[in-house]
Structure 1
């Protein structure tokens, strides 16, 4: 059994499905920390008065940090952040997306990494899969009852087998070892959208946008910091690929997969670099130039929340007209003579757009 090592290159978030609401957190500008309160200890404190709390929590804009500043004495977690991000969150009183955790700390689920690698394996074998993939997608589009998330199911089964005999049974990826709260931070994200003259920032809900980054809608999450390293178990089960007793299809998909993945991802990075060069976002341009420089000694991969359509789909396998048909079928907005997708989620630090979410460098260690 080998080990994978992930170096986080931009804030990485895989959600637990939970959120930290304003009635459970405080902002400490002095420490530059986002503090999640231990509400059980708050509620059992002699200073807590239930009727007072029930009266205040009913009022619009209730914020624990304003009404009960002493709750900071009972921290559950403390996550570092920039002063600017903390101030913006304090003004907005937004919910904060919570990461996956267990009793010993915060971790990256093996299923998240394996899902990204599944997509990557398909991409490095694009010439071999295109015909089958297109045919199965066309067939599924004829069924109006098919759900969006099931559109590629028949294509995947034709290419890599049914769940019980899937080629990806050969790929075994464990959860990462848990890390403490010091490895994570609070981050702010805004949505960049292309325009005919460059780009603007989304004001949600709706289709409004603004040139003023400060006025754009923000999302907040707790994610692994750039520079953090995660490790977990990893194995490509050779007996499944080399033994004829295991009836798996397209075993050659895994041939020399790491080197081929590096090449495919370098092309992906070049395309993203071009995207930001054309709209003149210097910080993002520098970020992708650095990723390309670092792409020789590991697989540069994007995973988790906010990574978007390009990282999570096989749109390259579809001709342009068929891709448009799929997009319209899925009721996703598409603009003629415009790159698709035209939006990106961008992490904003100290008032500047610095990087997209979820970029990592993956190494397989023997």
Structure 2
């Protein structure tokens, strides 16, 4: 079965490029209301004289501040020096880059969307199969491996888990790329964190950006002949209902986050109230998911099972030392979120929320 998927960002979405942060005055420069990400090789070719003036060549070749040799008119008159331009200015000297294709166009990796779907389906299955502490491993990094295998795989041993993984039947492609103009510079912070949050600047797909992708549900892997080997029954029904279960999970996650921000951050609380109404009134083929950087621990774990079970939650926090710094038992966990902020103090929006419309095409 084939699906066309339309992904519309409801808040800024950042999926990291997996490279070191861009550096101020080296990788990017700021002029007025804009940040220019430079093509360093072309900038050097532009600045370096073809011959003579050995002192200038030495200064430019050894500098860590290309901006001292550039003015904004240089970039306007020579657009080839700029890879792309972002509105706004970062609140520090580092900027985390968005993932892009070889032509510099941002997109959403299929693995990002599939991860959100996987988490939704795992939460649905876990609500029917109580989580057993004995299933959890001793190390935090691999604590849930046995739980994940029990929920989503029928592998006879862990080494064969990918071959028998339920989500093997759901093939999610990368989205089509969009123009670099879809990117914004977003100043985020870890909140709350003392009198002011911890500032972080990222490139992000701006709110209202629409991307398209394809998803395939492999009917052969769900067939009776394949099930003789895979033995997924009755969990195949979870795959056939993946949109409905993602919709249910999205509504639950919105409620979780609305509860966290209630009476603490008025603008974010107002956003979640609106998003809850929007998601509840959406068509049956629409669901909401929080993806990418900033979605946090609740969006990527069995939070719908763990958070309501206070004894289990406290046991997990202590066993795996999940809390950073002093914490009283019963205090909210996790205690912080990554949010958009314009002044470095007050949260304005959460990160990563998307509206996903699924249309069956064959």
**TM-score with structure 1 length normalisation?**
0.82
Instruction: Give 1:311's aligned residue.
Output: 299
> Relative to 1, partners in 2 of residues 1:275 and 1:159: Cα closer, same or farther, differing over 3 Å?
closer
1:2-151 aligned at under 5 Å gives the runs 2-18=3-19, 19-22=21-24, 23-29=26-32, 32-47=33-48, 49-57=56-64, 63-69=65-71, 72=75, 73=78, 74-82=80-88, 86=89, 89=91, 92=92, 94-104=93-103, 105-131=105-131, 134-137=133-136, 140-141=137-138, 146=139, 148-151=140-143
Residue 283, structure 1, aligned to residue 267, structure 2: yes
Shift of 1:152: 1.1
The SS at the match of 1:130 is: coil
Contact 2:183–2:203 (8 Å) recurs in 1: yes
Shift of 1:43: 1.4
Instruction: Give 2:216's aligned residue.
Output: 235
Contact 2:7–2:212 (8 Å) recurs in 1: yes
Instruction: Give 2:320's aligned residue.
Output: 330
Instruction: Give 1:196's aligned residue.
Output: none
1:191-270 aligned at under 5 Å gives the runs 191-193=190-192, 202=193, 209-210=194-195, 213=196, 216-246=197-227, 247-249=230-232, 250-270=235-255
In structure 2, how many angstroms separate the alpha carbons of the residues matched to 1:244 and 1:321? 43
> Relative to 1, partners in 2 of residues 1:81 and 1:353: Cα closer, same or farther, differing over 3 Å?
farther
In structure 1, how many angstroms separate the alpha carbons of the residues matched to 2:316 and 2:62? 50
Instruction: Give 2:156's aligned residue.
Output: none
Instruction: Give 2:53's aligned residue.
Output: none
In structure 2, how many angstroms separate the alpha carbons of the residues matched to 1:128 and 1:135? 17
Shift of 1:305: 0.6
In structure 2, how many angstroms separate the alpha carbons of the residues matched to 1:12 and 1:108? 9
In structure 1, how many angstroms separate the alpha carbons of the residues matched to 2:68 and 2:352? 33
Instruction: Give 1:320's aligned residue.
Output: 310
More off after superposition, 283-292 vs 260-269: 260-269
In structure 1, how many angstroms separate the alpha carbons of the residues matched to 2:349 and 2:164? 39
Shift of 1:217: 2.9
> Relative to 1, partners in 2 of residues 1:136 and 1:244: Cα closer, same or farther, differing over 3 Å?
farther
Provide, for residues 251-302 of structure 1, a one-character-per-residue CA deviation record: whole Å limited to 9, x for no partner.
23224332233233212212321222232x2210121112112212321100
Instruction: Give 2:158's aligned residue.
Output: none
More off after superposition, 38-47 vs 339-348: 38-47
> Relative to 1, partners in 2 of residues 1:3 and 1:68: Cα closer, same or farther, differing over 3 Å?
same
Match of 1:156 among 127, 142, 148: 148
In structure 2, how many angstroms separate the alpha carbons of the residues matched to 1:274 and 1:155? 27
**TM-score with structure 2 length normalisation?**
0.83
Residue 274, structure 1, aligned to residue 259, structure 2: yes
More off after superposition, 347-356 vs 19-28: 347-356
Tell me which protein shows more strand as a share of its residues. 1
In structure 2, how many angstroms separate the alpha carbons of the residues matched to 1:191 and 1:329? 25
Instruction: Give 2:290's aligned residue.
Output: 302
Instruction: Give 1:197's aligned residue.
Output: none
Shift of 1:117: 0.7
Shift of 1:47: 4.2
